[in-house]
Amino acid sequence: MKKLLTLLGSISIIATTGQMVVACATDYDQKDQDGNSILIQFLKKLDGVAEIKTSDILWKLINAENGPKNREKLTLELMQMINLSILSNAKNNYVDGNGKYVLDDSYPYNNYDLANTLVSRWDTLSKNVDRQIENEKKKYEKDYGKKWESEWDKMLLNKYTIYQEDTDDMDRNFLEAKYKADILLTDSSNNASKTLLDVLINTDQQGVTWVDQNTIKTKYLKLKAYVANTEANADLIAYIRSDIDQLSQIYNSTIEDSSAWENKAKSSDTDEVLIATAKEVTGKDIAGENGENILYDAPSNIDEFTISDSTSRSGFLSSSQRFFVDKWYNVQAPLAISEITIGFSENGKFDDGITEADFKSAVGDTDQKNTFDLLAEIKNDTENKSWKTYMAGGTLKHPKATVKQYEKLLTLNNSTDFTQDLRTVVYDYVLGEAADKNINENVQKIEITGDAKEFINKLIPEINRTKNEEKKFYGALKVGTLIYIDSTGIHIVNIDGYGFLKESESANKELTGQKGIEDDKVNSETLKELSTFKKYSKLTDEQKVYKMQTTVNKDVKTTSDSQDEDTESNLQKADSGIGANTYFSEMNSKVTNPYLHYLVNTSLVKGLKGASTSFDILSEVKSWAQISSSSSDSSSAYWMTCVFDYFKEISKPKSGNEEIDQNEFIKQFIEFNTDSETNGELATSTQSWFFNGLKTKQDWTNIQPSISFAQANKSWVDTIKSQTDASGYPKAIIENSWYKNDLISRSQNYFWKPTKSTRLLLNSSMEFNNNLDLNKLSLRIFDEIEYGLFFKTNKEVK
């Protein structure tokens, strides 16, 4: 039997999947065509002999025609192998502790009992793939009858001719292992990367199963009857032991404060103890004469987590979800935006220059008056209540004005969801410093009193986009609310939650974590937060919106809890006494950054009637980190490295306190056999290339959004400059030099990722605590892109 080498024997998956080496594509007979696995393609020769030199593999990576595509595909396939190795070796590395690196259970991003969760999910995934293969065999048996095994062998051989030559000399078990590896690496449903992301990003915080107060009261009445029958202790004990948790449920349902909840009974208790506890919890001092003190839902038990009853904690971020949300927030600098646009009047237009006449009625002063009234209401409303009313209702009195809730957050990444005018104005306002922002302060000074026509005559010249080096073409109507004109009219843009954004500048940046089981009980803080989420889940849609958007008001620098008493009373129904702002502050309380906390909790009201916003930050993060079938050089793809980055961050050395070396960490999951006598040089070169390539990918994730923004701004500026002066086209621009060399540092004032000061990472992807280096790297790459050099060089290939 003849077996060709699997990547020259230079790569293997560590431990339990050692036999599952490389089977990443579906057809290995097409030589040198797109779609083949790069790993396999490196091996193939027309005569079937795998004698590949270092120069061959490097040429595949750097040649001008296919090099970039090959580099991307090879990086992808190696990352898929790492993901598979992480999952399949979870028991060996993490539960049994045989790896050089283990999970740090105390690290804030680590989910409680993650190691055992991974073991369970690997077992399920492996069995699912085995079942998938068995079902395929049954179909072959049905389709081909007695010849099914022969046809099955042909299928395997056709897929993997790189390994064996013919069916007479093939090792079926060997090739079926390759087939299983193929599925585990790349199948659309049963693949390891998808499974890991499902655990890490698609699963909310673990919780408890809740029992409603009516059910508990029914249990209480039955238990009380058994307790009253003093002649039948045996029956009482049998009833208690049939549902031993009922004792805790009855007791805890009489207490609103979850921190006072107790585990009143356990199966190891003696009969005497259980009888005494039953008498205690059914006594009038606790439950009342007839259970009237049973007022609250209570957990089924408080000594373990469950993944059931997910509705009661929907939106409660798990520790791993927080990792991805924090990372996305850190690099994308997202802002919640809502907007009102006042269209041009009948004869008004943008291209020939903007004048007051563009926003005046042809007859009368209706347009001027409507614009005056609308802007006056917005400007004079210091708590933004009217703005929220506009956004929630979707209509305005001004017939030429339209309301827009954005379903996506504004980010540095270029997006067709927002115009470049809006992107430039908003980020210039948010990130520009006092010395270079140079915002048009005259706009805010204009008094909205008196004659509407006079007001328009004062406002338009200040924002008419006539080229002026002394001031920007936009103004702030008030703090956090901007006004400018583009080709569709006057835009009033509100940065929702702006007060939280400003608060983030000086907030505590220490990373804190959600606790799990402590002293045989769910951590009291976690239990309290689960209780708050449970109570929130029972509110009406109107009450939910009220709790997240009405009582919490930091669109401007004021906070108001005052409400009409009748409205307050109505919205507090079924509220279990939770105060006005408690929901907002207690839910997702471990999200450290104030503005990110605002974005996360405000996302909970998406789709609810009366909500003034419609974005969902977690859905955007999931899209950013999702598994894609594409291996193209997507400028914003994080999914290739995100799982690896997560496990690297939550890991620690098994022994000692040395810092984590990323290259050594990689070797726990894939191994390049650099000691091979025949192919050691190739293995060493491939290993070096991959180590450097992965770090390049990680750095690119950090700087790409800033580069994208700078590029989009430059294109926008170039387009405006190309307009002739004779046309009268408004030629005001915003062209900040810091977009290229200081954007990252400035964004970190607000969009920072919390850090745990006691942990250091060595030789890892550059984090934003090294903003100077990232700014320099961003500037260099921006200049290379501008001159057509980036990705045409081979700098990452060593």
- Report the C-alpha gap between 633 and 530 in whole angstroms: 41
- Report the C-alpha gap between 738 and 747 in whole angstroms: 11
- Report the C-alpha gap between 146 and 528 in whole angstroms: 63
Q: Are residues 368 and 258 in the same domain?
A: no
The number of domains in the chain is 3
Q: Are residues 314 and 282 in the same domain?
A: no
Phi, psi of 337 (to 5 degrees): -125, 135
Q: Are residues 375 and 469 in the same domain?
A: yes
Choose the final residue of a domain: 577, 602, 627: 602
Q: Are 36 and 73 in contact (CB under 8 A)?
A: no
Q: Are residues 377 and 513 in the same domain?
A: no
Q: Are residues 266 and 378 in the same domain?
A: no
Which residues, 6 or more positions from 364, have their beta carbon under 8 angstroms from its beta carbon?
A: none
Q: Within a domain: residue 313?
A: yes
Q: What is the per-residue DSSP string for 457-494?
A: HHHHHHSS----TTS-S-EEEETTEEEEEETTEEEEEE
Most distant CA pair in the chain, distance = 105
The sign one gets for the Cα dihedral 413, 419, 425, 429 is: negative
For β-strands 660-661 and 761-762, DSSP reports them as parallel
- Report the C-alpha gap between 282 and 227 in whole angstroms: 8
Q: Are residues 525 and 462 in the same domain?
A: no
Amino acid identity of residue 364, one-letter, is G
Q: Within a domain: residue 128?
A: no
Q: Indicate the pTM of the whole model.
A: 0.87
Range of the domain at 468: 337-495
- Report the C-alpha gap between 81 and 193 in whole angstroms: 9
- Report the C-alpha gap between 383 and 185 in whole angstroms: 53
Q: Within a domain: residue 367?
A: yes
> What integer pLDDT is reported at residue 17 of this predicted model?
38
* HSE, side-chain direction, 13 A CA sphere, residue 668: 28
Task: Give the bridge partners for 338, in sequence order.
Answer: 405, 494
Q: Within a domain: residue 149?
A: no
- Report the C-alpha gap between 347 and 362 in whole angstroms: 8
Q: Within a domain: residue 444?
A: yes
Instruction: For residue 671, give the H/E element and its range.
Output: strand 670-672
Amino acid identity of residue 244, one-letter, is I
- Report the C-alpha gap between 367 and 359 in whole angstroms: 7
Q: Are residues 573 and 528 in the same domain?
A: yes
- For helices 271-282 and 233-242, the axis angle rounded to 10 degrees is 80
> What integer pLDDT is reported at residue 771 of this predicted model?
54
Q: Are 680 and 673 in contact (CB under 8 A)?
A: yes
Q: Are residues 356 and 409 in the same domain?
A: yes
Residue 207: DSSP 8-state? B
Give the count of beta carbons closer than 10 Å to the beta carbon of residue 429.
20
Q: Within a domain: residue 417?
A: yes
Among 645, 628, 673, smallest CA distance to 21 is for 673
Q: Within a domain: residue 425?
A: yes
Instruction: For residue 279, give the H/E element and its range.
Output: helix 271-282
- CA-CA distances (angstroms) from residue 145 to 71, 148, 164? 44, 6, 25
Q: What is the mean pLDDT of each run of 10 residues along the chain (798 residues)?
A: 32 36 30 45 37 55 67 81 89 91 95 96 95 96 95 88 72 83 85 93 92 95 91 90 96 93 93 95 91 94 85 94 96 97 93 92 92 93 90 93 96 89 95 69 80 88 85 90 96 96 93 90 93 94 91 51 41 42 90 97 95 96 78 60 95 87 90 68 79 91 91 93 86 88 90 75 42 59 49 36
The three state secondary structure string of 307-374 is CCCHHHHCCCCCHHHHHHHHHHHHHHCCECEEEEEECCCCCCCCCCCCCHHHHCCCCCCHHHHHHHHH
> What integer pLDDT is reported at residue 452 of this predicted model?
87
> What integer pLDDT is reported at residue 438 of this predicted model?
64
For β-strands 481-486 and 298-299, DSSP reports them as unpaired
Choose the final residue of a domain: 548, 578, 602: 602
What are the E-state strand segments in 117-212?
210-211
What are the E-state strand segments in 527-606?
none
| Tokens (6 digits) for 680 | 């050691």
Which residues, 6 or more positions from 283, have their beta carbon under 8 angstroms from its beta carbon?
A: none
Choose the final residue of a domain: 551, 574, 602: 602
Among 403, 492, 414, smallest CA distance to 739 is for 414
Give the count of beta carbons closer than 10 Å to the beta carbon of residue 209.
15
Q: Within a domain: residue 395?
A: yes
Burial (CB < 10 A; 0-12, 13-18, 19+), residue 155, is: middle
Residue appearing with tokens 């990472």 = 761
Q: Are residues 341 and 325 in the same domain?
A: no
Which residues, 6 or more positions from 719, have their beta carbon under 8 angstroms from its beta carbon?
A: none
Q: Are residues 490 and 507 in the same domain?
A: no
Q: Are 560 and 553 in contact (CB under 8 A)?
A: yes
Q: Are residues 351 and 479 in the same domain?
A: yes
- Report the C-alpha gap between 733 and 467 in whole angstroms: 7
Q: Are residues 345 and 485 in the same domain?
A: yes
- CA-CA distances (angstroms) from residue 239 to 211, 245, 263, 373? 18, 11, 18, 71
Among 88, 110, 1, smallest CA distance to 646 is for 110
> What integer pLDDT is reported at residue 345 of this predicted model?
94
Q: Are 681 and 56 in contact (CB under 8 A)?
A: no
CA-only gyration radius of the chain, Å? 32
